[in-house]
Structure 1
């Protein structure tokens, strides 16, 4: 699907988008919510890379998606621990939960399609390496063409699926403003917990989109009120990750994803030799270049498969959460009746 070109708006406007939120309230979080927020803070700390050069890797993205799954489990546990049954929920909370979870599923679908697209890039390089095993001039020309096509393929900014992912993140942004809650402490705890989950999800999703983008895309840059126990660790993580991504784009490096950058470096070494000849480069060095490209390409495929597996697991966790909520609907409908929601 083609889209009109133009500057991408940032996910959030300049300034504090949360000035109308509950941080003006005197509500004190319960012990249950405090434990939830401390766990979330620790997850953000664990996601901060020890080395800035490790921003971003398949391993990091896998861990990041896994951390969202852990938070989703914590939200379900918090609902039980708060003793807040569905029958006491306001219908707008139910709508919010279902709509947000639907956005998560839509993201999984769009991003999964781009993972498949990345596998095609792997096949391109696999074909090029096979042609490089031959001394026939025509095969070498085919290898050169495959390497060139790979760089062109990766550099296509107008990828509709990645743009779809950005659009979904914008939908999540639109739900960040917390709904007005009556003076029910348990309800306020639930909505506050959901806010933390959405911030975590938006940030990790935008980073995953940037990983496969060879041209700059807008990054989630959130200003979280200090009342949240995870605010400091999240802000620290966001500063490190977004700062390194911006440096990568500013220095014209190929991609924020480390595994893609390594492949590109190997392609750059091989491609000129197929046109200009080996020159002072020995056959042994040339073979070493081919071997390095093969190794980095196989590692890329392995990382891609692991990411796909984690994304499938994430999808299942979200679906299971929706099904559990819908099952509870049949047993104990929420207050105000059930309004129609997107399924």
Structure 2
């Protein structure tokens, strides 16, 4: 499927573009939707860190991605519980679902590419550490050069796919306005649940982009109406996470991701010693710095692999949902008549 690409934009515009177009008619949510929103509220509560230093870690990122998978599964269950067959869907709902899920797949692709880039950074440090485990002056000079290259590589984003991730989030932003729904309660419940999924996805994806960034980005800051049962827990989570990310950004050239910050601190200690000499630093302290860098680099790789594995699971969940919809779509086309299905 070909998709038209808009002009390159910043992460998100200043202000609050997330105003909803809610129907003027009042509607009480069904028991199924109430359960969905209570589950979403619990997920936001569980993601709220107990301590600011827990933002952002690989463990938190893994839990966040898992929570989106759970919400996707809840949306699927909601469709079944509402007994809202595809034949009763308006075509714009199908378009909305397919377009949104395609954006999620695009994010998986772009972020997965940047994970590969981060793995290359791990290899660079691994090579530097092998040279550091030597008394040969030439190898120590080579190690110094490798650390310098890592710092440049880490702070350079000409090969990064993070901007592509930002573009995906911007596309999701453009779909946050809810479509006008006729007086069909079940349809309103479905669209309301989709709104919750998009808010959750946009917020979490924006933190993922921030995790590997060493320069400030405009974070997603949503103002959700109080009518949603998950509004309070989401707002509390957003304040804590975004607040800590901004605090980290106030330190130049530092990534919000805790595991990456530790490596940055190790390199910051080691590089001047190799470049200018040990000076007053004892040999055992120097070896301790090297050992600490090696340990943190290995932990970084483990965390990176865990996020990649969870991202693969997320990808499969999204694809599975699309295929289930399209299978039903072929058996009982939605209203308005569709000539072509977009894959």
Contact 2:20 2:177 in 1 (8 A): no
Tell me the residue number matched to 2:62: 62
Tell me the residue number matched to 1:101: 101
Tell me the residue number matched to 2:247: 247
> Post-superposition, which runs of at least 4 consecutive aligned residues in structure 1 deviate over 6 A?
none
Tell me the residue number matched to 1:263: 263
Deviations 1:206-242, CA, capped at 9 Å, x for gaps: 1000000011112111111110000011011111111
Offset at 1:47?
Answer: 0.4
Q: Under a length normalisation based on structure 2, what TM-score does the superposition of the two structures give?
A: 0.95
Offset at 1:335?
Answer: 1.1
Contact 1:157 1:215 in 2 (8 A): no
- Consecutive unaligned residues in structure 2, runs of 5 or more: 1-7
Tell me the residue number matched to 2:224: 224
Contact 2:9 2:167 in 1 (8 A): no
| Partners of 2:10 and 2:22 in 1: CA distance | 23
Task: Confirm whether residue 285 of structure 1 aligns to residue 280 of structure 2.
Answer: no
Which sits farther off after the overlay, 62-71 or 272-281? 272-281
User: CA distance change for structure 1 residues 116 and 273 in 2, over 3 Å: closer, same or farther?
Assistant: same
User: CA distance change for structure 1 residues 170 and 287 in 2, over 3 Å: closer, same or farther?
Assistant: same
- What secondary structure, in the 3-state scheme, does the structure 1 residue paired with 2:177 have? coil
- Consecutive unaligned residues in structure 1, runs of 5 or more: 1-6
Tell me the residue number matched to 2:33: 33
| Partners of 2:96 and 2:75 in 1: CA distance | 14
Tell me the residue number matched to 2:206: 206
| Partners of 1:25 and 1:47 in 2: CA distance | 34
Deviations 1:56-114, CA, capped at 9 Å, x for gaps: 00111110000000000000000000010111111110010000000000000000000
Contact 1:202 1:220 in 2 (8 A): yes
Q: Under a length normalisation based on structure 1, what TM-score does the superposition of the two structures give?
A: 0.95
| Partners of 2:160 and 2:267 in 1: CA distance | 26
Offset at 1:20?
Answer: 3.2
Task: Confirm whether residue 11 of structure 1 aligns to residue 12 of structure 2.
Answer: yes
Q: How many residues align?
A: 336
Tell me the residue number matched to 2:194: 194
Task: Confirm whether residue 323 of structure 1 aligns to residue 285 of structure 2.
Answer: no
- What secondary structure, in the 3-state scheme, does the structure 1 residue paired with 2:224 have? coil
